[in-house]
Amino acid sequence: MFKNGPEYEERLARPYAPPTITLKELHAAVPKHLLQKSALRSAGYIARDVAFVAAFFCCAAYIEPLVASRAWGLVPAGAGWWRPAVVRALLWTAYWWWQGIAFTSFFCIVCVDSMGVARVRALTVSVPQLGHGTLFKSWWANNVPGFLLDTFVLAPFFAWKASHNAHHKAVNSVERDENYVPALRSEFSLPPPKRATTADYAEVFEETPLFTMVRMFVMQAMGWWLYLSVNKLGSKMYPKGTNHFSPYSALWKKEQRFGIVISDIGLIAMMSLLYLFARTYGWKAFVAYYFIPYMLCNHWIVMVTFLHHSDPTIPHFRKEEWSFLRGASSTVDRPTLGWIGRFFFHNVSHDHVAHHFFSHIPFYNQPAVTEAIKGVLREHYNYDSTNTFYALYRSFTECCFIEDDGSIVFYCGREGQTQRALAEGVVEEIKEKGWSQEHQDQLAEGMLSDSTAL
């Protein structure tokens, strides 16, 4: 449980060279029927998620009456005070676990439904400004359920969708990516690598295991809202005060502002309903039924999204070396929670590489897409069977910062070392064979014709 997966170790030992395959090869490998949407199947998945959340709420409503009635011999007559307390704690813990996962299913199905990659016509159809959904052909059919589900778990639907679309267009770009952007050496006021000493790194990063766990707890409990409200770990190209709630935030274009207002109205309405629930049934009921599962939902959101792109073996690219293919291939598939994660999280972790290359394909077809592209990506398909909780600790403690220079960079650990090296001569080879920056920028904006893009 507390060791690296074999795939991680193999990748760590292999010097990195950017993939030489083309997008055309990738898309040729995917059967065209996987692009098709099934409205009935899509609606079924949404109904299933809603049904699970409703069912867990109903189960929670029976916990206290069940314990009080000593039903099914759970609490024998004449038992001491501690036995009902233990049974109550076990039942509520079970509810919080499953409801937290069910809440996360709302976020995940909206994630895989609403995101779209850059508008490269060779890859997919043209998408609206806020992205085109993958579950239905209708904009309304995609966005109305998405708005309702996201709002229920207090996520600003149109705001987050817009910024996540931008992430898809610039994934793992040091300058232009939208979230989990690595900190720079200079941000910690560290000396240059040749002059830095062990004491320099220890002064910044050395801490007790307890303090590390406290910082991890803060990230898991509050990281989602810190990103939304103050752009924590967001792009450095935005000024201080950038957030997902102001329609005049630097994140948005003028035509996106109305969607931001709608997202804010949804959040205010949901929070008002929660306040009315608490006033009616008590704050203890609010905490037990909604708040604790909601906090666990935030944990899963941060855990899953952080591990997609924060890994010691995964490169980040500066503008002269970034391309859509290089960025999209630099993410990791993980078997988070096994069948539970695949079932409730809608393949978000299990098939994240395919999600970045084919985010216009319905999520229920993504496992087949993953199998189809493995043979094309070969060693550039990144999978990690490391226990996800251990991988979270590993990335949290080893992904500290990147260097201020370098076209292709890896995370440095607490002692300033990188875990993975570039293949010999790769920088020179990239410069000889790589696209021009103008070509890369055009690709990111979806401005190239089919023949030019591929």
Distance CA 454, CA 437 (A): 16
Q: Which residues contact 207 (CB under 8 A, 6 or more apart)?
A: 215
Question: Tell me, what's the pLDDT at 208?
Answer: 85
Assess contact for 348 and 355: CB atoms under 8 A: yes
- For 363, list phi and psi in degrees, rounded to 5: -60, -30
Point out the least confidently predicted range of 77-81, 209-213, 217-221, 420-424: 77-81
Residue 35 has pLDDT above 60, yes or no: yes
**CA within 13 Å, CB half, 36:** 6
Q: What average pLDDT does the structure give for the chain?
A: 87
pLDDT, mean of residues 392-416: 94
Q: What is the pLDDT of residues 191-210, one digit of tens each?
A: 999 899 999 999 999 888 89
pLDDT over 70, % of the chain: 86
pLDDT, mean of residues 408-434: 81
Question: Tell me, what's the pLDDT at 117?
Answer: 35
76 pLDDT tier (thresholds 50, 70, 90): low
- Per the model's pLDDT, the better-predicted residue between 435 and 281 turns out to be 281
Whole-angstrom CA distances from 119 to 86, 260, 297 are 55, 22, 31
Q: What is the pLDDT of residues 331-371, one digit of tens each?
A: 999 999 999 999 999 999 999 999 999 988 999 999 999 99
Question: Tell me, what's the pLDDT at 440?
Answer: 43
444 pLDDT tier (thresholds 50, 70, 90): very low
Q: What is the pLDDT of residues 141-173, one digit of tens each?
A: 889 999 999 999 999 999 999 999 999 999 999
Residue 80 has pLDDT above 70, yes or no: no
Spatial CA neighbour of 250 closest among 261, 259, 239: 239
Assess contact for 296 and 96: CB atoms under 8 A: yes
Question: Tell me, what's the pLDDT at 124?
Answer: 30
pTM of the model: 0.88
110 pLDDT tier (thresholds 50, 70, 90): confident
AA identity, residue 144? V
pLDDT, mean of residues 124-146: 63
Distance CA 280, CA 106 (A): 26
pLDDT, mean of residues 95-102: 98
83 pLDDT tier (thresholds 50, 70, 90): confident
Residue 405 has pLDDT above 80, yes or no: yes
Question: Tell me, what's the pLDDT at 126?
Answer: 28
Assess contact for 401 and 395: CB atoms under 8 A: no
Distance CA 2, CA 393 (A): 10
Q: Residue 426, Cβ neighbours under 10 Å: how many?
A: 17
pLDDT, mean of residues 54-69: 93
Q: What is the DSSP letter of 287?
A: I
Question: Tell me, what's the pLDDT at 147?
Answer: 95
Distance CA 23, CA 454 (A): 6
Distance CA 281, CA 303 (A): 32
The enclosing H or E element of 14 equals: none
Residue 61 has pLDDT above 60, yes or no: yes
Residue 18 has pLDDT above 60, yes or no: yes
Question: Tell me, what's the pLDDT at 158?
Answer: 94
- Per the model's pLDDT, the better-predicted residue between 87 and 427 turns out to be 87
Residue 418: beta bridge partners?
412
Q: Residue 70, Cβ neighbours under 10 Å: how many?
A: 16
Assess contact for 418 and 182: CB atoms under 8 A: no
Residue with tokens 């709608």, as numbered in its chain: 262
pLDDT, mean of residues 417-443: 64
Q: What is the dihedral of CA 184, 190, 194, 200, to 10 degrees?
A: -140
Domain boundaries of the chain, sorted by first residue: 6-453
Q: What is the pLDDT of residues 310-324, one digit of tens each?
A: 999 999 999 989 999
72 pLDDT tier (thresholds 50, 70, 90): low
Number of H helices, E strands in the chain: 20, 2
116 pLDDT tier (thresholds 50, 70, 90): very low
Question: Tell me, what's the pLDDT at 135?
Answer: 82
Residue with tokens 């699970």, as numbered in its chain: 52
Residue 229 has pLDDT above 90, yes or no: yes
Distance CA 219, CA 27 (A): 37
pLDDT over 90, % of the chain: 74
Distance CA 384, CA 311 (A): 10
pLDDT, mean of residues 67-84: 68
Q: Residue 371, Cβ neighbours under 10 Å: how many?
A: 13
AA identity, residue 348? V
